[in-house]
Amino acid sequence: MSISKVESIPVRIKRDEAYLGGIPVAADPQAYFTRPPYRALYSACFETAFVKISTADGVIGWGEALAPVAPEVVCTIIDQLLTPALLGRDPLDGNALWNLMYDLMRERGYYGGFMLDAISACDIALWDLRGKLLGQPVYKLLGGAFRERVPCYVSGLPRPTAEGRVELALDYVARGFDAFKLAAGHGVRADAASAKSLRDALGDEATLLLDAHWVYSLDEAVQLGQALADLGAGFFEAPINPEDVESHAQLAAAVALPIAHGETERTRYQFRPWLMQKAADILQPDVGRAGISEVLKIAAMAEAFNVKMAPHLSVGLGVCIAASIHAAAAIPNLYLLEYQPPVFEIANLLLKSPLTCEKGHYAIPSSAGLGVELDDGRLGALQA
């Protein structure tokens, strides 16, 4: 039994509403844009990179990288660097294969970014493949589930006004959801007011989270953090530039509020200083950027520091979502998993059998592997 074929698939799917709101007028579906006050590039499409790893006897494992920008970069790394290393290898050699892929470019300084995104896609596909070969769901291979369902929070509330965000949140409350994250970064006073309007509408029992997208200085973050602490917020995510571990440590010491960090990091090595310096109370690796294998290792390391996990899950589609659910089920120190309703809807359009998220919880797929299969026909029809 060996790996006989590795195929990468860059994907762009047209959408009417971008992450965090509307889409600027642009004729070119491959055009990228910024959304002030945020500095990162965004796409007018749902973009991702799938990978399909096959054995000689026709068993297939699906993987996906979180690739919201330039998915072709991830696919090129898979095709030119990772595929030659994987062909002919035993797919059951999971840890050995992860280390094999990681070591290929490690000495050249490529131990993050697109390189790890590509490794993560292959790692997810290998877990799916192993589950199918062994006839077990992935969470079983990870050591079993710590919970029957995976708790989640509604992320983003993409409406331009406080009234609109409250209305959207109340709609989800009526459907049984009770945890919400605001996409913030619009100034300390504006963010504090937005959070307060949500708290006033939802009451004290709802879980309120805030993502600042790295726009604040330390002083500003302390001011906003204190306001969020007064509102009983669950965490303050990405307040300061992601490279600045020391300022996050000072912030964590200054406010009685959990500081969350992690979607920018890929490995246990990158998370280690955050734990050592007590700069984060909640870690947020993304399975589409770290892979299932590494997320479980990060979780084990965090557990030793009494730090919880809230895996990031933004625009990953069906395979990435399923992988995140399996990983979250198998993590003892889980806080919450992210839930993006518009992304979830698109993801299910690509799957032969849909994933389920109801009343604040994901259902854990129970069939062999990740429990999802991409529909090639629908994927081709939806491509931009």
Peptide bond between residue 158 and the one before it cis (omega within 30 degrees of 0): no
Residue type, 261: H
CA-nearest of 38, 103, 94 to 297 is 94
Ramachandran assignment for 192, one of left (phi > 0), alpha (psi -120 to 50 degrees), beta (any other): alpha
Is 312 designated active site? yes
Which of 213, 248, 261, 312 is flagged as catalytic? 312
Helix (H) or strand (E) holding 207: strand 207-211
- The SS3 of residue 94 is helix
CA distance 77 to 72: 9
**At a CB cut-off of 8 Å and minimum separation 6, what does 84 contact?**
none
- Structure tokens of 73? 């970069």
Candidates 270, 260, 166; CA nearest to 212 is 260
How far apart are alpha carbons 167 and 201 in whole angstroms? 9
Token look-up 């939806």 returns: 382
> What are residue 193's phi and psi, to 5 degrees?
-65, -40
Q: How far apart are the first and last CA of the chain?
A: 37
User: How many residues are given for the chain?
Assistant: 384
The answer to whether the CB of 21 falls within 8 A of the CB of 75 is: no
Residue type, 239: P
Interstrand relation of 357-358 and 361-363 (parallel, antiparallel or unpaired): antiparallel
Cα 260 to Cα 211: distance, rounded to the nearest angstrom: 9
**Residue 302 contacts residue 278 (beta carbons within 8 Å):** no
Integer angstrom CA distances of residue 257 from 166, 208, 225, 317: 23, 12, 7, 31
Active-site positions read: 312
